[in-house]
Amino acid sequence: LITEVRLRRILDSRGNPTVEAEVSTESGGFGRGAAPSGASTGAHEAVSLPADEAIAAAREHAVPRIEGQVYAGDQRSVDAALRAADGTDDFGTIGANSAVAISMASAKAAADTLGAPLYQHLGGAFRGNTFPTPLGNVVGGGEHAKEATHIQEFLSAPVGAPSVTDAVFANARVHGAVSEILDDRDIPAAKGDEGAWAPAIDDEEAFEVVAEATDTVADEVGFEVGFGLDVAAAELYDPDDGVYRYGDVERTTDEQVEYVADLVDEYDLVYVEDPLDEEDFSGFADLTAKVGSETLVCGDDLFVTNTERLARGIDEAAANAILVKPNQIGTLSDAFDAVELGVENGLAPVISHRSGETEDTTIAHLAVATDAPFVKTGAVGGERTAKLNELIRIEETA
């Protein structure tokens, strides 16, 4: 039984306040979880409130429904209590940031009580024994770095790696190789919110640089290092004019589909996230049909980890992968529902961090628990390596 829920304000990686929750159980279990936060958030995400407000509202409405009321090991009841306490569809009362922190802290308290690692508690005895390939953000711009690329994330995808550990180190090497190539070209680069290099170059040059880096590292490590993208196209789309804007270059929806399909061909992209606007299920479907099953077309802002939006996407064959971010929907139960609905319908689940992160490692466990083929959690930087290093530890014990 959960005996205590404590909430506090802590820092996230952008230096903004976020919500941390601690859960204690009667049998001595303890769990701690912290909410991440997005910058290029989807319009249909659950609502994150300012940390102070979220904490005050959760203390008033949610904590009394949980302390002494539900078992940490009964995740569905914990999450149902959060939903009942909130009373809205989008966690507008207590904040998805308070909800997800409590939901994750409860799962960890349950695992602690059981003496099991979190991935084992979440995945259960019938979990497969697969490990996710980490997608490493090595060059980026968009909402994560001003004056850099229009495409938000250029991702290293070490699909041929024999182990998670090899994949994690390969991504860090690609990040390093990008720096060397930029140096050779006399291009200075700061880092964006997720630790990716954020040079002031056009997207075309970024493709050249990242392709050279992944090829170089593939030669070094002796396995395939693929290339992926998060276009985050909702941030480029102008709904009034119906065009995607890359600086002075404008593309209609049809041109955008062509453009991305050509990129998939030219760079053998294994993964393309949010290639179209978050409302454009039919544009997504056109691209998904065009590129075939070799390339994952993944809905992030399109689906926002929401089973209703995912169900529509399945009906319309909009994508063949779903990005899963627990804070987009507010609880681990909802995130698992999205994974399950996706997998039942042939969509690959990809578990993801946010641009604003903490040292919380829940998503590493979630990716292993759900047998996700990919996990997106950056390449370097403490709040990113927290998850990557946790994957290395999990691989050693699992």
Name the site residues for ligand PGA (rule: CB under 6 A).
38-41, 143, 230, 232, 300, 352, 354-355
Decide which of Zn ion, ligand PGA, none touches 360; Cβ closer than 5 to 8 Å per partner kind: none
DSSP for 252-269, please give it. -HHHHHHHHHHHHHHHT-
φ and ψ at 182, to 5 degrees? -60, -40
Show contacts with Zn ion in window 296-355 (CB under 5 A).
Answer: 300
Pick from 157, 56, 6, 96: nearest CA to 306: 96
Show contacts with Zn ion in window 263-302 (CB under 5 A).
Answer: 273, 300
- Annotated active-site residue 194? The verdict is yes
Q: How far is the CB of 353 from ligand PGA (least distance, A)?
A: 7
- Annotated active-site residue 191? The verdict is no
Please tell me which residue in 20, 325, 383, 390 is annotated as part of the active site.
325
For residue 289, what are the contacts with CB-CB under 8 A and spacing of at least 6? Answer: 317
Report the distance separating Cα 315 and Cα 311, nearest Å: 6
Burial, 34: exposed, middle or buried (Cβ in 10 Å; 0-12, 13-18, 19+)?
Answer: buried
Q: How far is the CB of 259 from Zn ion (least distance, A)?
A: 18
Pick from 30, 31, 37: nearest CA to 11: 37
290 is in an annotated binding site: no
Question: How many CB atoms sit inside 10 A of residue 3's CB?
Answer: 16
Q: How far is the CB of 32 from ligand PGA (least distance, A)?
A: 21
Decide which of Zn ion, ligand PGA, none touches 384; Cβ closer than 5 to 8 Å per partner kind: none
Pick from 364, 398, 392: nearest CA to 164: 392
108 is in an annotated binding site: no
Report the distance separating Cα 339 and Cα 120, nearest Å: 17
Cα-Cα end-to-end distance for the chain: 28
Pick from 4, 34, 32: nearest CA to 19: 34
Nearer to ligand PGA, 117 or 141 (CB): 141
Decide which of Zn ion, ligand PGA, none touches 95; Cβ closer than 5 to 8 Å per partner kind: none
Decide which of Zn ion, ligand PGA, none touches 38; Cβ closer than 5 to 8 Å per partner kind: ligand PGA
Decide which of Zn ion, ligand PGA, none touches 295; Cβ closer than 5 to 8 Å per partner kind: none
Nearer to ligand PGA, 112 or 278 (CB): 278
Report the distance separating Cα 155 and Cα 228, nearest Å: 5
147 is in an annotated binding site: no
**The tokens of 212 are what?**
């050279």
Shortest Cβ contact with Zn ion: which residue?
Answer: 300
Please tell me which residue in 194, 235, 357, 383 is annotated as part of the active site.
194
For residue 29, what are the contacts with CB-CB under 8 A and spacing of at least 6? Answer: 23, 72, 109, 110, 111, 112, 113, 114
340 is in an annotated binding site: no
Q: How far is the CB of 379 from ligand PGA (least distance, A)?
A: 14
Kindly list the distances between the CA atom of residue 6 and the CA atoms of 104, 110, 328, 357, in Å, as whole numbers in the listed order: 13, 16, 22, 20
Q: How far is the CB of 11 from ligand PGA (least distance, A)?
A: 16
273 is in an annotated binding site: yes
Q: How far is the CB of 203 from Zn ion (least distance, A)?
A: 16
Residue 193 binds Zn ion, judged by CB under 5 A: no
Nearer to ligand PGA, 113 or 149 (CB): 149
Report the distance separating Cα 379 and Cα 208, nearest Å: 19
Kindly list the catalytic residues: 194, 325
Binding-site residues for (2R)-2-phosphoglycerate sit at: 152, 325, 354-355, 376
The residue ranges that bind Zn ion (CB under 5 A) are: 230, 273, 300
Binding-site residues sit at: 144, 152-153, 230, 273, 300, 325, 352-355, 376
